[in-house]
Structure 1
Amino acid sequence: MSLDTDRRAVIAGALGLGLMPGAAVARAASPAFLWGVATAAHQVEGGNVNSDVWLLEQLSGTPFVDKSGDAIDHYHRFEDDIALIARLGFSSYRFSIEWARVEPAEGQFSDAEMAHYARMLDCCRRHGLTPVVTLHHFTSPRWFAASGGFENQNAPAVFARYAARVVAALGDRIGWLCTINEANLSFAPSPRLRTSAATATGSTHFSTFLFSDTSVSKPIVRACHAAARTAIKAIRPALPVGYTLAMDDVQDSPDAPGRGTAMRSAMYDVWLEAARQDDFVGVQTYTRLVVGPKGPVRLSPETPRTQLGQEVYPAALGGTVRYAAKVSGRPILVTENGVGTEDDALRIRYIDGALAALGACRRDGIDVRGYVHWSAFDNFEWLMGYRPKFGLVAVDRATQTRTPKPSARHLGAIARARRSGPWGSQDL
């Protein structure tokens, strides 16, 4: 992938690593188009001390430019945050359940933490928000990483056990369930990070989701998803289940017809074909990747870019949705789409461009079930810390004051105006 255009490659660059590509099913239960915003537990909750990423943040020489710390304290402030999301006009909230909280030690599940997430789900329902829940959003319990994480052949059974416990306790409150966020995403393993983390945990097999041997981990990730889906469906057959994929709109350059097409197939087809057994595919798109005769084309100096060096290209969403629908044959839920920028006017233009592309997909008959924007709030963006601003709502972390940006009101007004129409409406 291009180091210029992909936000994930920015993380890889910080480490000096290369980005590695990585029976009948039920239809989605709700006919209503979802208009939502998203967060992830580690990026907003704060105090995720039992997770592998928290450990990596603390290591000497860590590549993380900030520590997540209290984040935006969403763990304690979720009621006000969810009420704000609803007031802005949205109909859905995507968030993740933190495995490291729910199962802090192997086989020991926390009823208190399960009750916390039950309160979040109930809060969503009270405010008219359909919860889209992710079981794994990049972070794992420290004990799981120390056992080899997704490089461990026993991981599918362990992950399915966790999924089953969550769904048994909370499944009646969940609207849509994503097992694994951006299941296809990973970076080459960092020997220095693995060594430091192994020393800290006393393990010789420490491996995290983002920094793993992909030749080993990615087939196991797919097996984890399949095992979790089976366990979930045994408990709640009607609950829509899928995973989400990181997808750039991979295109041919004019002087290299077919090169981008071939790269796109190599990057995504195995994941989209595996999703044919799912109820939906979660598409997560930020930009495009143009492929020339020698590989990804580098951006020209005059190309508009985001804070992460991405090309500002909102139409990318149309390309990825079309491709995901074609290969998988499944309904599409846009589970992330957004732009990292301090320029909120640019964010508004990006949103409008992305929705125009998505509307064209629907007019062409593609089964798109919803649009979930990344992100609800400015938050912790992994190795890049708190500098990139993806949020519709600004957060003063000194006071934890939330301030909706004009883009929040803009997208919220669109959601409010159009959420009451029937699913069959072709207009976004």
Structure 2
Amino acid sequence: MADDDLLFSTRDLLIGTATASLQIEGGDRNNNWYDWASLPGTIKDGSTPLRATDHWNRWREDTALMAELGLQVYRMSVEWSRIEPRPGEFDSAVLDRYREEIDAIRAAGIQPLVTLHHFSHPSWFQGLGEWTSDAAPDLFLRFVDTVVRALGDRVADWVTINEPNVYAVQGHLFGEAPPARRSWTGVRKVLRHMAIAHCRAYRRIHELVPDARVGFAHHARVFEPRNPRNPFHRAMTAFDRTLFQDVIADAMLGGRFARVLGSAPDDIAPGRYYDYLGINYYSRTAVTGISDGTFPGAPVNDLGWEIHPAGLIDVARDLHRRYPAPIWVTENGTADAADAFRARFVHDHLAAIAGSDLPFERYYHWCFVDNWEWAEGESQRFGIVALDYETQERTVRDSGRFLAQVIADGGVTRANHDRFVAPQAYSTEPR
């Protein structure tokens, strides 16, 4: 297709979707999130991840559907609690199962990106103190070494840890995720140990797979003062940016540990611990304190998160200025049960990427199929593929057809825009 036929091109961008094992596989009772969801009042709709999308048994169906949509890349995670159900005991059958799935993904012409820790881990690891424990980096490295030795001949691209800032803040400051604590000391320990774990895992993966591309998925959001004239709002904006984003990015990307994290171990010197910049981007925060807020009249999704596509470029530019590297949008998506604005959301973020001068290489939409959305359970819908949880039937949404056409055309055509994007509009209230 000629560029003259495109409103904008995505030909320099590999496009696909992202998932996480705990949210899709089902059937695993041996992890921190199943334990947490089994407690009364922890999950909005009372569900657990035991059902999820039954991907553990339906991965062939899902892979075929990804191929039908023409996905070029796919981000997945492997479940630590399945692979190492007891300390030091690794299940070779589970690793064989992941090998089989990855082989099928590659045979479909889709390039896998494998995440090693995406919020979930074995119950035994939780019992040892999870990421607050001084033993956590070594335990994680043992797991990483086993997985990469098993899958490294099939997988070139790796995410060590997903959203360490979110894990630390939600679980150890706000108490809204396991282990449901409220402790600044816990936040500091988690961030420190995750940074150490990432730097060591980065080196180990390259020892085992020299040509690997390794990074971490950084949750980045735009922080702006709700009232720019309010000195407290301005001060808290700077505080939030520093604590939530810069401290962990500097440690995990550059090996530079801020005072709040304590000094780096002797084996981690300042340097480069990334091959790409992985950015998870969803929203902008109107800052009045530490909790989230939105600007009056701003468009929002079903969860009340502000939709702010320009912010993707803002956070990417800031990170790239300090750590130059190819940019992979490792997550970007929205809660939209009615599929009333998702195509527009995707269009607007891809348009922002296409219009920037930054080296974006990949875009992973969150997510492929509706999944078990952590504390929201089954109540929120992020997928370009709709899921009936009772029957497990998958149905491609219009937003999925839109994204598939973008991939096929190498950009957004007027016809694709007019069919899927033009009829849609954002709302300033959650639907």
Q: What TM-score do you get using the length of structure 2 for normalisation?
A: 0.80
1:376-424 deviations in Å (ceiling 9; x for gaps): 01110011111111100001111111100000010111122228xxxxx
Partner of 1:112: 93
Report Cα offsets for 1:10-60 as digits up to 9, x if no partner.
Answer: xxxxxxxxxxxxxxxxxxxxx973211011111110012111111111124
**Matching residue of 2:103:** 122
Question: 1:286 and 1:105 mapped to 2: Cα distance?
Answer: 35
Equivalent residue, structure 1, for 2:336? 341
**In structure 2, C-alpha distance between the alignment counterparts of 1:243 and 1:218, rounded to whole Å:** 13
- C-alpha distance in 2, partners of 1:127/1:399? 26
Cα separation, 2, equivalents of 1:123 and 1:82: 7
CA apart distance, 1:265: 3.7
**Closer/same/farther in 2, CA of residues 211 and 93 from structure 1, 3 Å limit:** farther
Match of 1:387 among 376, 379, 391: 379
Displacement of 1:290 after TM fit?
3.0
Correspondence 1:64-83 to 2 at 5 A: 65=45, 66-83=47-64
Deviation at 1:89, TM superposition (A): 1.8
1:151/1:212 contact within 8 Å kept: no
Q: Do the aligned partners of 1:146 and 1:207 also contact (CA within 8 Å) in 2? A: no
For 1:32 and 1:170, the matched residues in 2 are separated by 28
How far does the alpha carbon of each residue in 1:340-367 deviate from its partner, in whole angstroms, 9 at most, with x for none? Answer: 0123231011111111111122xx2x22
Query: Is 1:189 equivalent to 2:162 in the alignment?
Result: no
Aligned match of 2:159: 178
Asked if 1:147 corresponds to 2:147, the answer is: no
Q: Partners in 1 of 2:196 and 2:318 — Cα distance? A: 23
Say whether 1:223 aligns with 2:211.
Answer: no
Aligned equivalents of 1:49 and 1:118: distance in 2? 22
Which residue pairs with 2:15 in the alignment? 35
In 2, Cα distance between equivalents of 1:401 and 1:358: 33
Shift of 1:191: 11
Code of the residue aligned with 2:172 in structure 1: it is P
Matches of 1:98 and 1:233, distance apart in 2? 21
Question: Within 1, Cα distance between the matches of 2:341 and 2:302?
Answer: 12
Q: Is the 8 A contact 1:338 1:351 kept in 2?
A: yes
CA distance in 2, matches of 1:146, 1:191: 20
Deviation (angstroms), 1:263:
3.9
Question: Cα offset for 1:64?
Answer: 5.2
Code of the aligned partner of 2:84: E
CA shift at 1:178, angstroms? 0.1
**Counterpart residue identity of residue 72, structure 1:** T
Bigger drift between 101-110 and 257-266 goes to 257-266
- 1:96 is aligned to 77
Separation of aligned partners in 2, 1:395 and 1:83: 16
Give the superposition deviation at 1:272.
2.5
Structure 2 regions of 5+ residues with no counterpart? 1-10, 255-271, 412-431
Q: Distance in 1 between matches of 2:298 and 2:180?
A: 37
- State the SS of the aligned residue for 1:138: coil
Q: Measured at CA, do residues 244 and 101 of structure 1 come closer, stay the same or move farther in structure 2, by a change above 3 Å?
A: same
Alpha-carbon distance change, 310 to 193 in structure 1, aligned in 2, over 3 angstroms? closer
Tell me if structure 1 keeps the 8 A contact 2:44–2:379: no
Distance 2:185 2:239 in 1: 25
Aligned to 1:241: 214
User: Aligned partners of 2:212 and 2:287: how far apart in 1?
Assistant: 39
Q: SS in structure 2 opposite 1:345?
A: coil
User: Percent identity among equivalent residues?
Assistant: 34
Query: Aligned equivalents of 2:292 and 2:145: distance in 1?
Result: 44
Q: 1:68 to 1:263 in 2, by over 3 A?
A: closer
Q: Which residue does the alignment assign to 2:278?
A: 282
Aligned position for 1:352: 347
Change (3 A) 1:299 1:60: closer
Deviation at 1:339, TM superposition (A): 0.8
Q: Does the 8 Å contact 2:215/2:278 carry over to 1? A: yes
Stretches of structure 1 that go unaligned for 5 or more consecutive residues are 1-30, 198-205, 420-428
Matching residue within 207, 230, 245 for 1:268: 245
- Give the equivalent residue in structure 2 for 1:13: none
- Give the length in aligned residue pairs: 374
Distance (Å, rounded) in 2 between the aligned partners of 1:191 and 1:270: 18
Q: 1:212 to 1:146 in 2, by over 3 A?
A: farther
Residues 1:354 and 1:152: Cα distance change in structure 2 (over 3 Å): same
Q: How far 1:247 sits from its partner (Å)?
A: 1.1
Kept in 1: contact 2:81–2:121 (CA 8 A): yes
- CA pair 175-414 structure 1, distance change in 2 beyond 3 A: farther
